Amino acid sequence: MHAASVGEFEQGLPVLEAIKAAHPGMPVLVTFYSPSGYEARKGLGTGRPDGLVTHVDYLPPDSAANARRMVDLLRPRSVLWVKYEFWYHHLHALKAAQVPTFLVSGIFRPSQPFFRWFGGAWRSMLGCFAHLFVQNEASRDLLSGIGVREVTLSGDTRFDRVAGILRANEGLAVAKAFRSTTSAPVLICGSTWPADERIILEALKRLKAPPRIMIAPHEVTEQQLSSIAARFPPPVITWSSSAGARGNTLLMDVTGVLARAYRYGDIAYIGGGFGDGIHSLLEAAVWGRPVIFGPKHTKFAEAQGLIDAGGGFVVRNAGDLRDVLARLLDEPAVLARSQEAARRYVQERVGATAVIAGAVVNALR
């Protein structure tokens, strides 16, 4: 299974788990493009075929020689390609070796090269897949328009992934303690960048009764942690030393807990919308948390979906954020409706994993 980074790995994980349940002894190689993905998940490789992941590595650079060598070395029975990232030589080498290759939770836009006059090489890569499973009707229609027929509208496996986190319902003692020290509402700010933090701070200054804050920066570095601690409402306590402590801001100086921490908030602000794009909205929405995010969200179908459902809110500046927070915090009925809308949006969209895993398992017979 190839994933660009951690988010795409999480998207493919439910499918991988379902396949391993059907073939528990089958060895699995997971490859990444980004160092952040590899470093975060390299520890999953056990070296044993009975583990979920046997090996974790980088996908070799996309040359014809590398691709042929990799296929000859591994002789894979099937390959999953998660969401996007299309590597020309690797895909063509898999097709030449007649390896069933599947796209998991793909999403397509008219601006992509596949649908432009100069996109012949890109379109040829689509022909390397045995089947493409896409998230929405727009993607299926775009592919149909260029003659790609082996397509199924399956939905997005991330809904299954976050639904699994909800079912597991694993508690977090630090977040629970922070929440229990007061009845004041809690705003959880997840995967924030400095641009997000600037408008959050400005918006908080404009509120008559600001909420308490849990904040998890996208980059957990000493510099970023120190900057947040110096600017956010004091007292600021850190996750790694805060059990039972009181504070107005809980700074999450650890990784790997954010998806479960949303359980302890009332409203979520998701970072990235003032940079390259928003981070995971569904991790918060599955807990029934209305999500607020910046304007760079057009590549994410779930953002518009949550807006349309009433569980998502886009903000372009601190004034927008102040207005959204004020309404949610001052009008309990509005907050309750938004929470239910976010929860229902996720619940109604689970099920992609079974569709995709069923096809892959059939190919492995």
Whole-number pLDDT of residue 40: 84
Q: Are 50 and 63 found together in one domain?
A: yes
Establish if 118 belongs to a structural domain: yes
- Identify whether 319 is part of a domain: yes
Is residue 205 situated within a structural domain? yes
Number of domains in the chain: 2
Residue 281 lies in a domain: yes
8 Å CB contact between 23 and 364 = yes
Q: Are residues 290 and 330 in the same domain?
A: yes
Assigned domain for 164 exists: no
Same domain as 225, residue 147: no
Closest CA to 154 of 277, 53, 12, 52: 12
232 assigned to some structural domain: yes
94 and 201 belong to one structural domain: no
Do 355 and 284 sit in the same domain of this protein? no
The C-alpha torsion from 146 through 151 and 153 to 158, rounded to 10°, is -110
Would residue 79 count as lying in a domain?
A: yes
Q: Please report, for the domain that includes residue 264, its CATH number.
A: 3.40.50.2000
Looking at the structure, tell me whether residues 226 and 124 fall in a common domain: no
CATH of the domain at 45: 3.40.50.11720
Q: pLDDT per position in the chain (365 positions), as tens?
A: 999 988 899 899 999 999 999 999 999 999 999 988 898 899 999 888 888 999 999 999 999 999 999 999 999 999 999 998 899 999 999 999 999 999 999 999 999 999 999 999 999 999 999 999 999 999 999 999 999 999 999 999 999 999 999 999 999 999 999 999 888 999 999 999 999 999 999 999 999 999 999 999 998 899 999 999 999 999 999 998 875 568 899 999 988 899 999 999 999 999 999 998 898 999 999 999 999 999 999 888 899 999 999 999 999 999 999 999 999 999 999 999 999 999 999 999 999 999 999 999 998 88
41 with 134, same domain: the answer is yes
Q: Is residue 161 part of a domain?
A: no
* Pair 126, 244 in one domain: no
23 and 79 fall within a common domain: yes
Give the domain range for residue 119: 2-156+350-363
Give yes or no: residues 176 and 317 share one domain. yes
352-363 helix and 157-168 helix, angle to the nearest 10 degrees: 110
My answer on whether 225 and 259 are in the same domain is yes
Structure tokens at 364: 């492995």
Are 232 and 201 in contact by the 8 Å Cβ rule? The answer is yes
* List of residues 6+ apart from 115 with CB closer than 8 A: 108, 142, 145, 146
| Same domain assignment for residues 101 and 179 | no
d(CA 247, CA 238): 9
